[in-house]
Structure 1
Amino acid sequence: MQSSRPDGGGSEMTTCRLPTGVTLEYEVIGDTGAEVVCFVHGAAANMRQFEVQQQRFVPSHRVLRLSLRGHGGSSAVERPRPSDYARATLARDVVALWDELGIASAHVVGNSLGGLVGYELLSLAPGRLRSLTTFGTTAALASPPALRWTMTTLQRLLGSRGMSRLLARTASHDRAVAQLVAEMCRSADARALRLVMHDIATYDYTAFLRQQTLPLLLVRGERDDGINANLGSTLTALAATPRFTLVDLPGTGHFANLERPDAFARVLTRFLVSVDDASAVRSPYRRAVGSKAKDEPVRELQPA
């Protein structure tokens, strides 16, 4: 491990060379005896996405945020194959970093691609997740071949800088958030981004999720139209698990933690307390008995 550069938000980053062959940038702060919360960003973003959440949760938890391979200050594979940026490969990097840091278990919070990495962590190291929170993530997606070709071609033509300019206009209704997303995109490796986007174009975790028993939280952004249109089978699968909660976060899109950080923190805090506090007789985050609708058979809780 070695000291590295500032992350652009005032924090000093650390890097770690992993047995998986890449170097990841990360920051971990907080009491070493506290429960760990591990934040995993979305495609084209990096660890800067969770700087605000790190400050909010460090009084009660040990907080780890990281940049996935090919993102931020983490290294990219020089001559990458598709498998070098597969979801399972990204998850193996996270587990390797946990091993290097002596982290036995963690609450995982993932946005978009980070949520898919969370699903892979459930498969790779199920006993090491205390809970999994996802937002901007659907458990099943089947992009048409024409759309996959269009996205791949667009990324190849625009590169990271061109994509960042596009994201600055489209990533969020909040201009400051869109600008931050664009800045993060500029530091992503263009080849890595193309392979990641190709890998996440088609997948289905719904059958796998039905088998899970750990606490699961899905935060749904009101304006995250692309994801919300594909959430039906995800909600049905998650509702079949014993400890699932769905929370709607009004006024947010794909980057709920950036668009309404205080409300996001309240939702996540209440959920983590409900998991960490073994003495709680009944948590406010319990799956409701019965169903509201065929495609949404769980109670929706609004943030306090």
Structure 2
Amino acid sequence: MLCHGLAAGGSQFTADIKHFAVAGYRVLVPDLRGHGQSSAPSTNRPDDFSIPTLATDMATMLDHAGATSVHWVGNSLGGIVALDLVARQPERFKSLSLFGTCFALNLPAAVAPVFPLLYATLGRRLLSTITAFNTTRHKPARPTIAAMARAFDPRVGAAISSHVRRYDLLDNALGYPGPVHILVGGRDTAVNLALRPALKRIGPRPNWTITHLPEGGHCANLDATQQWRHALADFWTR
């Protein structure tokens, strides 16, 4: 299960789908509501995009796919969604891998309206180019990131941001008894500011694996691809 982040989509994992499928895995790659090919509720209320709501969507998708349990790999928002669901339905997880994901955030309310403001001020094309440039130093990855940002609805971004700006799901992660894998992108500066102190407080745990990807940015599968894939395959095998 490869689950993307905010303002992205399943297309983030297009090359990874083929790679892991050839290796013998069944690969599920959803678009969260309001992303990619998944529509948004016509009401477009903030409550339509709460973390538990997004997580319940994914549980329903797994039921529809006949997948009783999965190796969940979540990037950013895709990891946050997993951290909610793993506390409510831990049996759905063979393992949990996170990259570009914070266990907790506490940002001001002014964060939520930023999405519509930026899209209106800069325009889709310019904003998507800036987003891609700031997300990765790996030039071949930038067109994928730019395309996802250009297609994204800023109203969905504002609604989701109103929820994810402030949450604390660390206890959910600590309470999950199964294998947990944290992939730390060396170039994911903003997330690391919040993530590394949390990892130090947690300390070593027998069911946790931490892998450092020095060249990985926020979307490490796009700019530290081989290292990211190898780390996951090794973790699943062990």
Question: What TM-score, normalized to structure 2?
Answer: 0.91
Residue of structure 2 equivalent to 1:222: 186
3-state SS of paired residue (1:229): helix
Within-5 A mapping of 1:60-75? 60-75=24-39
Within-5 A mapping of 1:18-29? none
In structure 2, runs of 5+ residues without a counterpart are none
1:160–1:190 CA contact under 8 A, matched in 2: no
Tell me how large the CA RMSD over aligned residues is.
Answer: 2.0
3-state SS of paired residue (1:63): coil
Within-5 A mapping of 1:263-274? 263-274=227-238
Amino acid aligned to 2:90? P
2:220–2:228 CA contact under 8 A, matched in 1: yes
Determine what percentage of the aligned residue pairs are the same residue.
34
Within-5 A mapping of 1:3-22? none
Deviations 1:255-302 (A, max 9, x none): 11010211111100000111xxxxxxxxxxxxxxxxxxxxxxxxxxxx
Do residues 99 (structure 1) and 66 (structure 2) align? Answer: no
Higher helix share: 2
Q: Report the Cα distance in structure 1 between the residues aligned to 2:171 and 2:191, rounded to whole angstroms.
A: 19
1:46 Cα deviation (Å)? 0.6
Q: Report the Cα distance in structure 2 between the residues aligned to 1:76 and 1:146, rounded to whole angstroms.
A: 23
Higher strand share: 1
Deviations 1:80-136 (A, max 9, x none): 111111111111111111111111111100001111011122023111111000000
Do residues 49 (structure 1) and 21 (structure 2) align? Answer: no
Q: Which has the higher contact order (CA 8 A, sep 6+)?
A: 2
Question: What TM-score, normalized to structure 1?
Answer: 0.72
Q: Report the Cα distance in structure 1 between the residues aligned to 2:113 and 2:43, rounded to whole angstroms.
A: 21
| CA distance 1:161–1:200, change in 2 (3 Å) | farther
Do residues 40 (structure 1) and 40 (structure 2) align? Answer: no
3-state SS of paired residue (1:110): strand
The alignment of Structure 1 onto Structure 2 pairs a total of residues equal to 237
Q: Which moved more, 1:215-224 or 1:175-184?
A: 175-184
Q: Report the Cα distance in structure 2 between the residues aligned to 1:151 and 1:104, rounded to whole angstroms.
A: 36
2:184–2:213 CA contact under 8 A, matched in 1: yes
In structure 1, runs of 5+ residues without a counterpart are 1-37, 275-304
Residue of structure 2 equivalent to 1:253: 217
1:205 Cα deviation (Å)? 1.1
